[in-house]
Amino acid sequence: MSTSEIRDEARKQAKFPFVEPSRVDLLIDRAEFYRVPGTATMICSIVLKSGFTVVDSASCKDPRNFDEDLAKRLSFSKARDQIFALEAYADVARPIEATLPNII
């Protein structure tokens, strides 16, 4: 079962708020890809509208199996998954941070 399928199943069972995929997608400004020369590794850098960057990669064991489109989709999906965790943390931390003194 893929991460996406597991997440969909969890959403169906959720009784309380969760991070919506549409919310994550709205945060994304752009994605840039870089294939490491001479390797079967694709790096995806997702730049959020806030300017924050999330990076992940996809590789295969044998460069002869490398498929650029598949590597882009996989590295993007892995980087996008990190945004879910960041947003969940931000949602939980906001009320606590509101009670902290402003030190800036």
Q: Return the CATH fold of 18-95.
A: Double Stranded RNA Binding Domain (3.30.160)
Per-residue pLDDT at 75 exceeds 90 = yes
> ∠14-18-19 over CA atoms, to 5°?
145
Give the span between the Cα atoms of 45 and 91, in whole angstroms.
23
Average pLDDT over residues 11-23: 83
Average pLDDT over residues 27-52: 97
Q: What are phi and psi of 45, to 5 degrees?
A: -115, 115
Q: Is 86 exposed, middle or buried (0-12, 13-18, 19+ CB in 10 A)?
A: middle
- Most confident residue range from 17-21, 64-68, 88-92: 64-68
Residue 104's pLDDT is 63
Q: State yes or no: pLDDT of 16 exceeds 80.
A: no
